[in-house]
Amino acid sequence: MNPKLAQTLIRLYPAQWRSRYGEEFAALLKDKNFTAEDSFDVILSAITERIRLLGESMPSNRETAINLAAVSYLAAAAGGINLVATIDDSPVVAAMHQLLVPDIAWTILSITGILAGICALASGASLYGRWLVSALHRKRQEALRLLFPPAAGLVLLFFWGALSLVMTHGKWIASPWAILPQGGAPALWPGLHFRWLFGAISTILSLEILFSLAVGFTKLSSLDVGETPYTNRTMRAKTTRWLLLITATSMVVAACSVFTWGAELSLRTPELLHDQFGVLGTTITVSWALSLSLFVIAALGSVKSARLYHRTAA
Three-state helix/strand/coil letters over 65-134: HHHHHHHHHHHHHHHHHHHHHHHCCCCHHHHHHHCHHHHHHHHHHHHHHHHHHHHHHHHHHHHHHHHHHH
| Secondary structure element (H or E) that encloses residue 306, with its range | helix 284-313
- The C-alpha R_g of the chain, in whole angstroms, comes to 26
Pair (263, 163) in one structural domain:
yes
Identity of the amino acid at 247: T
Do residues 273 and 192 both lie within one domain? yes
How many CB atoms sit inside 10 A of residue 71's CB? Answer: 22
Q: What is the pLDDT of residue 249?
A: 94
Amino acid type, 76: A
Position 232: which residue type? N
What is the structure's pLDDT at 231?
44
Nearest to residue 114, comparing CAs of 157, 44, 187, 177? 177
Q: Looking at the structure, tell me whether residues 133 and 214 fall in a common domain.
A: yes
Contact partners, residue 121, CB within 8 Å, separation at least 6: none
Which DSSP symbol is given to 275? S
Domain span including residue 17: 3-54
Sign of the alpha-carbon dihedral angle for 115, 239, 209, 153: positive
Q: Which among 14, 38, 54 is the end of a domain?
A: 54
Q: How distant is the alpha carbon of residue 303 from its chain centre?
A: 16
Same domain, 119 and 208: yes
Alpha-carbon torsion (251, 288, 270, 88), positive or negative: positive
48: Cα separation from own chain's centroid: 34
Domain-ending residue, one of 13, 37, 54: 54
Residues 41 and 80 in one domain: no
pLDDT score recorded for residue 163: 93
Instruction: Let me know whether 116 and 251 are in one domain.
Output: yes
* pLDDT at residue 228, as a whole number: 43
Same domain, 84 and 194: yes
Q: What is the pTM of this model?
A: 0.64
Per residue, what are the HEC states of 12-50? CCCHHHHHHHHHHHHHHHHHCCCCHHHHHHHHHHHHHHH
Query: Same domain for 10 and 156?
Result: no
Tell me the C-alpha to C-alpha distance, in Å, between residue 285 and each of 238, 253, 263, 272. Answer: 41, 20, 10, 9
Q: Check whether residue 176 and residue 284 sit in a common domain.
A: yes
Same domain for 44 and 78: no
The mean pLDDT values, 10 residues at a time, for the chain of 314 residues are 77 82 81 70 75 56 73 84 78 85 92 85 74 80 84 90 90 70 67 82 81 71 51 61 89 95 90 71 85 93 88 68
Task: Say yes or no: 140 and 171 in one domain.
Answer: yes
Q: Are the C-beta atoms of 40 and 60 separated by less than 8 Å? A: no
What is the number of domains present in the chain?
2
If asked whether residues 93 and 230 sit together in one domain, one would say: yes
Give the span between the Cα atoms of 237 and 213, in whole angstroms.
Answer: 20
Q: State residue 22 phi and psi, 5-degree precision.
A: -60, -50
Q: What is the pLDDT of residue 281?
A: 67
